[in-house]
Structure 1
Amino acid sequence: MEKKTTTANGAKKTAPKTTKQKSTNSTGSMQESQLQKLFEDELKDIYWAEKALTKAIPKMVKHATSQELIQALESHLEETQQHVTRLEQVFEIIGKNAVAKKCEAMAGLIEEATQIMEECEEGAMCDAGIISAAQKVEHYEIASYGTLCQFAATLGLSEAKEILGSTLNEEKTADEKLSEVAESAVNIEAAHEEA
């Protein structure tokens, strides 16, 4: 749209038409902002998941009978509480409020664990079911934290990447511990129990 102005001597002058132009690097910054949004959405998702696990793990402990499994779950519950705190630190780093968004995947995994515990008789078979459910949870978390670490690296959020990487390593260790418990006794005992 042309804009008419008057010069100092009273002559009419037409100002050139101005248009908003996108900078040549708008694609790069747009991608970064989209990745930033995805990063934040994934943070909200795993934040909900970790908070939900602080309530779900004690139920697993209550149904477990193997002392080794109980110890592994209790140890991981303490770590999970730390994971919640670490996620709050990451939100702080990116200048956002820590907000949880319901994680449908984790809700489904927790529901599956609940069904297993309700349907199994107490003992090795229930313990094996708890381990199965817990490892599915761990694998979901490993995938989530691995992705978040990559996003943080791409976005240049080195402090966030380091924090998320610490949690990723703990999730991998928890998964390995559950495998050890299953292989050392629980699965063997469950195999000998009558259905």
Structure 2
Amino acid sequence: MQITTFKDMYLAELQELVSAEGQLGESLLQMAEVASHPALKDALLHHREQTEVQKERLVSLLQKHGAEPRAHTDQAMQALIHETEKMLGMLKGNDLRDAGLIASAQRLEHYEIAAYGTAAALAGQLDLRDDQRILHRSLEEEKQTDILLTQLAKSEVNPDAVAA
């Protein structure tokens, strides 16, 4: 897709987000499989479910605008997932791996927060208020996941890793 208008740029952002959510869904499942802390495993699986819903929202937005959902591959998400996999291969012991999972998951969340914030701002500039509302909903879900991961890290997972 050639980007020649502001709306094209907005649609390209949505396509990147579809790609990011698709990649993330698979990664979250893999992360949950290796997590040993039950609350962390649950949080990762819950976020995977949210990710699928968020992806469906994005696909609906793109279809509404007559754009293809899969025109781009989000290389930034691809790189972040690669770094997560690399880190997990280096961490020894369940407690340390769980702490590393949270750190990696939060990097992924922060990227999503930035991407959803950007897409929502672009929708606002285009006066696409329904799109903006939908994107803000996903943005708030991402922020809540980040808060949950922070609380889990501080209260349980990181203290266990320090003590191990």
Q: Same fold (TM over 0.5)?
A: yes
1:79 aligned residue (41, 50, 56): 50
1:34 CA displacement: 2.4
Aligned-residue RMSD, C-alpha: 1.1
- What secondary structure, in the 3-state scheme, does the structure 1 residue paired with 2:5 have? helix
Amino acid across the alignment from 1:37? D
Q: Does 2:77 align with 1:106?
A: yes
1:40-67: per-residue Cα shift (whole Å, max 9, x none)?
1111111101001111111100111111
Are 1:157 and 2:128 counterparts? yes
CA shift digits 1:125-177 (9 cap, x unpaired): 00010000000000000000001111001101111111111100100000001
Residue number in structure 2 paired with 1:59: 30
Q: Residues 100, 179 of structure 1: CA spacing in aligned structure 2 closer, same or farther, 3 A cutoff?
A: farther
Q: 1:122 deviation in Å?
A: 3.5
User: Identity over aligned residues, as a percent?
Assistant: 33
Deviation (angstroms), 1:97: 2.2
The alignment covers a number of residue pairs equal to 161
> How far apart are the structure 2 equivalents of 1:88 and 1:40?
11
Q: Which amino acid aligns with 1:95?
A: G
In structure 2, the residue matched to 1:176 is: 147
Larger RCO, structure (CA 8 Å, separation 6 or more): 2
Q: State the SS of the aligned residue for 1:191.
A: helix
Q: Letter of the aligned partner of 1:85 in structure 2?
A: E
Report SS of the residue matched to 1:98: coil
Does residue 40 of the first structure (1) align with residue 11 of the second (2)? yes
- Greater fraction strand: 1
Q: How far is 1:84 from its partner?
A: 0.9
TM-score normalized by the length of structure 1:
0.80
Unpaired stretches in structure 1, ≥5 consecutive residues: 1-32
Instruction: State the match for 1:140 in structure 2.
Output: 111
Q: Where does residue 19 of structure 1 map in the other structure?
A: none
Residue 163 (structure 2) pairs with residue 192 (structure 1): yes
Amino acid at match of 2:133: E
